[in-house]
Amino acid sequence: MAGSSFGQRLRGFRQSAGLTIEDLSEASGVSGRAISDMERGHSRAPQERTLAALADALKLSDGDRAGLVELARSERSESRVGRPRVGELPRGVSDFVGRARRLELLCRHALAASVGGPTLVAVVHGQPGVGKTAFAVRAAEQLREVFPDGQFYLDLRGTDPVPTPVGEALMRLLRALDVNPRRIANDEQERASQLRAILRERRCLLVLDNAADEGQVRPLLPGLGAGMVVVTSRRLLGGLEGVLRIGLAPLTSGESADLLRAIVGEASDRAAGQEVGTVAQLCGHLPLALRIAGTRLASRPGWTMGHLAERLSDADRRLANLSVGDLGVAAAFALSYAQLSNPAKAMFRRLAHVPGVDFGAPIAAVLAQVDLFDAEDQLDELVDLGLLQSEGFDRYRFHDLIRLFAADRLRGEEPAEARAGTERRMVDWLLETAIIAGRWFEPGFGAPPDDWQGLVSMATPEEAHSWLQVEADNWLAALRSAAAADQHQRVVDVAETMHWYADRMIHWAHWSEVYCLSRVAAGRLPDRRQEITHINHYAWAVSTCERRHEESVALAMEAYRFAGELGDTKEQANALHYAARAWRMGGNIEKAMGAYYRALNLADAAGNHDGYVQICVGLGQTFVELGRFDEALNEFRGVLREVDARPVAPAPAQVARMTARVAMARCLADAKSWPEALDAATRALPLAADYGPRFTGRVHLTLGQAHSALGATDKARDHLTRALKLLEDGREERGSEKIRFTSGYAAPPPCAMTLCEVEIPVRAWHRGIALHARVGVHCALHRARTISLAKAELAALDA
């Protein structure tokens, strides 16, 4: 059989063995049709694994086996000489970085492929420019030895106006698999059957790049076989079942810097320092943007990374600067934008008005002027095409560069008057909804009026609280917009409805801004009483949230003078209350005590019952800081009596009860009255739950200490562990600004503030561990028994 073709040699071996095609098929596991095509020369010589199966079934000698293998290799090599290789993988990028975990996942998936089982399919999806094709090609390179029968690539052109038709895609794949064009069926379904039959016998890897939708992909997928298919798409392709989905996100900061340096190459000396991180951030850590930015720098010898960062810092020109040759970030986004329905295009553009980082479907509905169901459908369309990122089950956000693209489309496709009207509609809705939500916590209000119909459910205080939290960035930006537009009464109304809600979110970083805006707005209105009220609110925020106690006292006393001129005893009482609070928190206990007593008398005389009980709470806290625990306990018990005896509104009553009970529990713990502390903390826990981790953590700390002292070790450990987590969750991160804290007692008791004057980073102010461990300052209300104490109690239990 010297000089014969592979097909002739195979037929000769089969006939010498006395086997029919069916016999050889059954013995080798290779289909009879595939063997017939090989013998007649209608398909190329098979790969190594198929050859081994045929040789074993034919019981070939070592020499005959080696000759057959060599002949197959020779024919495969000759078949590629002088003609283009259909389906060749594109060139991979040499500077590929990151994606290690995703690549490992895909490789593990590939190794699970087995003969006779279903062909493995992986869908790699993500937004435009995130590097899906580069990822798929890198994976194919790593899996070359796993799929010895070949790796084949096909661009499905899913972002083109007319994607690759299914029939043409099948034709190209069959040709890549060396099927004679004359043998390829005319019917699309028959072609799909041919493809499945061939791939059932081969251990191949198919990369189907840039898929348009499920309908384009489904006919190209094999049924059974030891091969694998990797599909890339901007869409999730959720209609494909039984597939591994790998979502690609932008690179990490470190990976982005590595990619920039790798692209810059010889110019790496110009890619050093902080500017690399700046450029990476301005590129949104998107591989396409990073590649373009790095290429621009590498091709311009006179530029430094600083020059590039400066160019990219102009948001209006950033997309234009992220373009080189035939690559452009905006062009990549435009391909997806063109695929949207007209309503989804309008929503995409108008979402550029959203000021916050993320948003919910109701804002989208307001911007697009559609109902909530249509808004959700359009948002799903944007997510599906990678133009929007889903955050949880009901929040959405833009990638930074896609937001710029949306703003560019908004300016280009909608006139200025229409844009202004859309933004006003969003601002009005945000502020109206914020007022409705905030009023749940205002005395005399509560549930929304019966005639209010909103896009957000406000049936309970919990729903109102949740909305105010998740949309905080957006309604705050709307408040700024209203202030800039001189909508003074609207600004005042929003801030006023937040007054009692602020007690639940006391460490939100923006209360000072809210009440600064409302103070200015109220000062421009004719009603002086509104101005006094909002000076007082601002004084509270400056001291409680910013720890600027001297400024707070000055504001409160300004409000006190104005209120005296108007004969407004109620606001005089409020002003003195805020001044007393600022003096107490600033360490001037003597002035605080006097102001509290004066405020108490004024509130009582004015019938200001809501304020009266809050002043009583402050007075009790002052006794705590003096270490006079018996007097403090009497004051807190008095608070509980007064709340029941006076017509206090629900929200102030709830705050007073919670604060008093939490403080009572801490007092009893400090006095080591453990049974009483346990009882008080048990009563305080359900009340503290509505006011965040700071209060709840203190109660669990008290419960842990009490159980430990009373011998219930397991319960103690459970409560202390919860306390530690809650207290750490409740720490405030306010930057590196310094504050000065002064305390001036002659001989303070152990749980009061120690005599000292220190400068402490504002972060540390809210981390009791830093104050307790580093400077020995120990304030019973704000820092006592915090993280360091919880750790110490846990360590004692373990010891």
Question: How do residues 303-356 score in pLDDT, each as one tens digit?
Answer: 888 888 999 999 989 999 888 877 889 999 999 999 999 999 999 999 999 999
- Strand order across the 395-397 sheet: 358-360, 395-397, 389-391
Answer yes or no: are the C-beta atoms of 256 and 290 closer than 8 Å. Answer: yes
Write 678-682 long-range contacts (CB < 8 A, 24+): 678/703, 678/706, 678/707, 678/710, 681/706
Separation CA 188–CA 515 (nearest Å): 69
N residues, the chain: 799
Tell me the two tokens of residue 177: 């698999």
Separation CA 326–CA 329 (nearest Å): 10
Residue 763: pLDDT over 80: no
User: Which residue did the predictor score with more confidence, 266 or 515?
Assistant: 515
* 100-247 CATH, one of 3.30.70.1400, 3.40.190.80, 3.40.50.300, 3.40.50.720: 3.40.50.300
Give φ, ψ of 257 to 5 degrees.
-65, -40
Predicted pLDDT of residue 170: 93
Q: Residue 642: how many CB atoms within 10 A of its CB? A: 17
Separation CA 137–CA 152 (nearest Å): 10
Domain 513-607's class?
mainly alpha
- The secondary element (H helix, E strand) that includes residue 727 is helix 713-729
Average pLDDT (781-799) is 66
From residue 713, give the alpha-carbon distance in Å to each of 426, 665, 706, 796.
Answer: 54, 19, 10, 11
Nearest to 201, CA basis, from 7, 79, 25, 20: 25
Residue 119 DSSP label: P
Give φ, ψ of 757 to 5 degrees.
-135, 115
Give φ, ψ of 151 to 5 degrees.
-130, 130
Tell me the two tokens of residue 341: 């329905």
| Category of 98 on φ-ψ map: left (φ > 0), alpha (ψ -120 to 50) or beta | left
Residue 218 DSSP label: G
Predicted pLDDT of residue 78: 55
Give φ, ψ of 126 to 5 degrees.
165, 175
User: Which residue did the predictor score with more confidence, 752 or 63?
Assistant: 63
Which residue has tokens 């990028």? 93
Question: How do residues 265-318 score in pLDDT, each as one tens digit?
Answer: 755 555 556 788 899 999 999 999 999 988 888 888 778 888 889 999 999 899
Separation CA 262–CA 134 (nearest Å): 15
Question: How do residues 99-130 score in pLDDT, each as one tens digit?
Answer: 999 999 999 888 876 666 788 999 999 999 99
Question: How do residues 603-660 score in pLDDT, each as one tens digit?
Answer: 999 999 999 999 999 999 999 888 898 999 999 999 999 999 999 988 788 889 999 9
In this structure, whether the domain defined by 6-78 belongs to CATH 3.40.50.280 is answered with no
Give φ, ψ of 296 to 5 degrees.
-60, -40
Domain residue extents for the chain: 6-78, 100-247, 253-331, 513-607
